[in-house]
Amino acid sequence: MSFAQDCFNVFSRATADYHIADNVDVSTPNPYQENKLEHTLYAKNYIDAVQWHLEDIIRDPMIDPVAALQLKRRIDRSNQDRTDMVERIDDYFMQRYAGVNVLPDATINTETPAWALDRLSILALKIYHMQAEAERPDADEAHRRRCAAKLEVLLQQRSDLMAAIDRLMDDIAAGRKYMKLYRQMKMYNDTDTNPVLYGAAKGK
């Protein structure tokens, strides 16, 4: 089994575990050892699963405006947690491949391994939910056919993305590519860089 397939299996398990309770306020114990990569991958997908459903809830046209604002701030915190976790995964890979002899003609990739895995985590959620729609008993046949066709595209995307991730990991291990990290440095959550936030602080 390939590295990417192993990661996808962890993501799929976390997605399935979330849907046991199917509640954004219910957490599930992480089944993996805390010092293992799988533990972080599982936690990362669980964050994604919760946020997926928060994004559904906030689109309720009848949602109370105050509740919507609280939900938006929760989504912002979740986005920051997701970014922090992706960067933690990249730190793991930087340490893992620190001793690799980088070839003179080595190049960097358009994205780091962890951000590629972030896409795979979201894809696991898309596949889960599109399959549910393709099999939804209360939907008409036309809806199920449309969703089944979309599911086929998502499955092909999964195959292509996993192959690309495995190639990237092989290239990094062989020194044909090397990792270079640029932190996200999101400004809107930072009281020192968001003018609305530091302006409000000065106005106190």
Asked whether residue 65 is domain-assigned, the answer is yes
Tell whether 26 is covered by a domain. yes
- pLDDT(181) > 70: yes
Residues 39 and 31: their CA atoms lie apart, in Å, by 7
What pLDDT is attached to residue 153? Answer: 98
H or E stretch covering 32: none
Tell me, yes or no, whether 198 lies in a domain: no
Q: In the structure encoding, which two tokens stand for residue 18, read together?
A: 């979330």
Work out the pLDDT band at 196, boundaries 50, 70, 90: confident
204 belongs to a structural domain: no
Q: Flag whether the pTM goes above 0.85.
A: yes
Tokens linked to 164: 């690309």
The alpha-carbon radius of gyration of the chain (Å, integer) is 20
Given the structure tokens 């696991």, which residue do they identify? 124
* Confidence check: pLDDT of 163 > 60: yes
Residue 144 belongs to some domain of the structure: yes
Residue 140 lies in a domain: yes
Tell whether 191 is covered by a domain: no
pLDDT above 90 for 144: yes
| Residue 42 resides in a domain | yes
Q: Are 30 and 60 in contact (CB under 8 A)?
A: no
Give the mean pLDDT of the chain: 94
In 3-state terms the chain splits into helix, strand, coil percentages (rounded to 5) of: 65, 0, 30
Structural domain harbouring 158: 3-186
Structure tokens at 144: 């199920």
- The per-residue pLDDT for 192 is 79
Alpha helices in 105-140 (DSSP H): 113-134
pLDDT, tens digit (0-9, with 9 covering 90-100), for 13-49: 999 999 999 999 999 999 999 999 999 999 999 999 9
pLDDT tens-digit readout, 72-122: 999 999 999 999 999 999 999 999 999 999 999 999 999 999 999 999 999
Number of domains in the chain: 1
